[in-house]
Chain A
Amino acid sequence: MTKALSISNLHKTYASGTQALKGIDLEVEKGDFFALLGPNGAGKSTAIGIISSLVNKTQGKVNVFGHDIDTNLTQAKQNLGLVPQEFNFNMFEGVEQIVLQQAGYYGIGRKEAKKRAQPLLEELGLWDKRNNASRELSGGMKRRLMIARGLIHSPKLLILDEPTAGVDIELRRSMWDFMQRLNEQGTTIVLTTHYLEEAESLCRNIAIINHGEIVQNTDMKSLLAQLDMETFVLDTQGLPETLPTNTGYEMRKRDENTLEVDVKKGVGVNGIFAALSEQSINVLSMRNKANRLEELFVRMVESGSDSSEEKTNG
């Protein structure tokens, strides 16, 4: 069955000699909501650049809905929409003008483009600003403008490269809702983000890229099941000099009132309270130190860094 996105043995070495991609393989199913994660400089943007014809590849194959970018680039481009990380529109052009122009580049006539642009701009809260120059928009509005522009030709595959960066939480949540509804309507979405909570709540499948290599490619549930330990942060009314021992939990003092406790998978949290009660420690509140995906991500990326350091040192 045709995949929405299929990448095989993709390599990229820049003129400077930097090897950004070292032969990555990736497949995204039709209709998927896929997370492509990785630390800064891991190769995510290079991969996205190659898929969207903004970066020349050194070697490898990329297919968008079965269309090879080497032999059938026009069809591949028709099926692809991109919302880049950096603002890349003309700051002097108007909001509606930018969206209509983008439709024009896809060969969509002005009348049809206007019909498509209005509901998009309305949905993204930009209709009232349609005649404003794009430089007059707030950061969040600029991001939404790039989403409207990326969707004007109704791509079957939409790549969102950090679409919510620098956006306040309320707006971020409304954008999540928008992306989810778009995905439910059949648009395949590939999302890169540094907000791992975003990836965890939206995406069904995930790939983690580090040092130009895919270090994990699986479905979100299986990945989260790999998490064998969670760390909780407990706010207390005060901690004694020495913490309780032999509790079955690893406990660390962060400051006079805050405690960090590692809890292994399958072990309940009730024992923590029992152990702390014995020492008359009152717990005021408890929360996860990081979300589950974040913990896994940090571990995978750190182990990747260690092994690459070993390789370098070796």
Chain B
Amino acid sequence: MDKINTTPIQGSNWVAFKTIINKEVTRFTRIWVQTILPPAITMSLYFVIFGNLIGSRVGTMDGLPYMEFIVPGLIMMSVITNSYANVVSSFFSAKYQRSIEEMMISPVPNWIILAGFVGGGVLRGLLTGCIVTIVSMFFIDNIQIYNIGVLISVVLLTSVLFAMAGFLNALFAKSFDDISIIPTFVLTPLTYLGGVFYSIQLLPEFWQTVSKANPIIYMVNAFRYGFLGKSDISIGVAFGLIMVFILILASICLYLLNKGKGLRS
């Protein structure tokens, strides 16, 4: 008992942030078979089926071989899905097991909690993005990078955005069903219709306008611009839109966290 330290300590928010990040990384690497492996397998199948088998018959898209055209979209698709999935499942399971109370009783500010979970989601999103990029190298001769700055900033901001969306979903979720409804019925259709597999220039004008209401179109196109220098939409608009969505989602998440939505009765 004499060895037990009973002197209180004044700690820093940076340590708290690192702790949450470390906890998140430990979680998704511990269950890598569920988190890291599936996107690698799924995306390999996409490359084989859409890229090699069907793609060779499609010819070119926007002046590019079909395989090259779909690579940026598929990388972005895995980043979006994994950033979202990591936060929604980690935060909801912390709520479900009540281990979130460990953070709630501690002096860690709510913005650090949000930043920590989002940071964890971004890291998983980027890790799977890198894995899919490496997998894609087996299917195309060389990956060209048109603008590395655009490439990195778009993937990072998109990952932040969808990690926050996952956090918001987890705040409202009351059951495990609630954390699969949005990914299945909203995120997947928006991603598939988000210009991953086709250029929206192929669509009739009316459907091009409708497509522009899908925020994922902007992210996929801006990312593709970073790789290939080709985009259906303005890069400036894409950045502006992503930033606005991030600000809106961050404000909503912090407001609900401060109120204790789904956490405090």
Contacts and interface: CB of A to CB of B under 8 A. Distances in A.
Interface of A: 14-15, 49, 52-56, 73-75, 77-80, 82, 84, 86, 88-93, 97-98, 101-102, 104-109, 112, 115-116, 119-120, 122-123, 149, 151, 153-156, 178, 181-182, 185-187
B168 to A, nearest CB: 20
Contacts of A79: 8
Please indicate which of the listed interface residues B22, B99, B105 has the most CB atoms of chain A within 10 Å of its own CB. Answer: B105
Nearest to A77: B107
A154 B265 contact: no
A266 to B, nearest CB: 41
Contact of B107 (A106, A151, A182): A106
B34 to A, nearest CB: 12
A119 B107 contact: no
Contacts of A90: 93-94, 97, 99
Given A104-B18, A185-B1, A84 B6 contact: no
B105 to A, nearest CB: 5
A154 B26 contact: no
B1 A107 contact: no
Given A101-B102, A123-B1, A153-B8, A92 B30 contact: yes
Contact of B9 (A77, A153, A178, A187): A153
22 contacts: A14-B265, A52-B105, A77-B105, A88-B102, A91-B97, A92-B30, A101-B22, A104-B15, A104-B16, A104-B19, A104-B20, A105-B103, A105-B106, A107-B13, A115-B5, A116-B5, A120-B4, A123-B4, A153-B9, A153-B11, A154-B7, A187-B6
Interface string B83-108: 00000000001100111011111111
Contact of B1 (A86, A98, A149, A181): A181
**CB-CB nearest 6 A-B residue pairs:** A107-B11, A104-B19, A119-B3, A105-B106, A88-B98, A77-B107
B26 A97 contact: yes
Nearest to A102: B102
Contacts of B12: 107
Contacts of A156: 8
Nearest to B19: A104
B29 to A, nearest CB: 13
A83 to B, nearest CB: 11
Contacts of B6: 154, 182, 185-187
Query: Interface extent on B, as a size class?
Result: 35 or more
Contacts of B7: 154
B99 A107 contact: no
A106 B3 contact: no
B23 interface: yes
A185 B15 CA distance: 28
B57 interface: no
B103 A88 contact: no
A101 B264 contact: no
Contacts of B16: 104-107
A20 to B, nearest CB: 10
A119 B4 contact: yes
A91 B18 CA distance: 21
A105 B107 CA distance: 7
A75 B93 CA distance: 28
Contact of A54 (B1, B9, B20, B264): B264
B5 A106 contact: no
A149 B4 contact: no
B101 A106 contact: no
B19 A105 contact: yes
A186 B11 CA distance: 21
B260 interface: yes
B265 A102 contact: no
Nearest to A104: B19
Contacts of B104: 53-54
Nearest to B23: A101
Interface in B208-255: none
Contact of B108 (A55, A105, A116): A105
A101 B19 contact: yes
A102 B9 CA distance: 13
Interface in B166-199: none
Nearest to A84: B101
Given A89-B97, A90-B94, A119-B4, A107 B15 contact: yes
Contacts of A186: 6
B106 A77 contact: yes
Given A56-B265, A78-B10, A186-B6, A149 B102 contact: yes
Contacts of A187: 6
A53 B264 CA distance: 8
Nearest to B11: A107
A88 B99 contact: yes
Residue picked from B101, B106, B260, most chain A C-beta under 10 Å: B106
A233 to B, nearest CB: 38
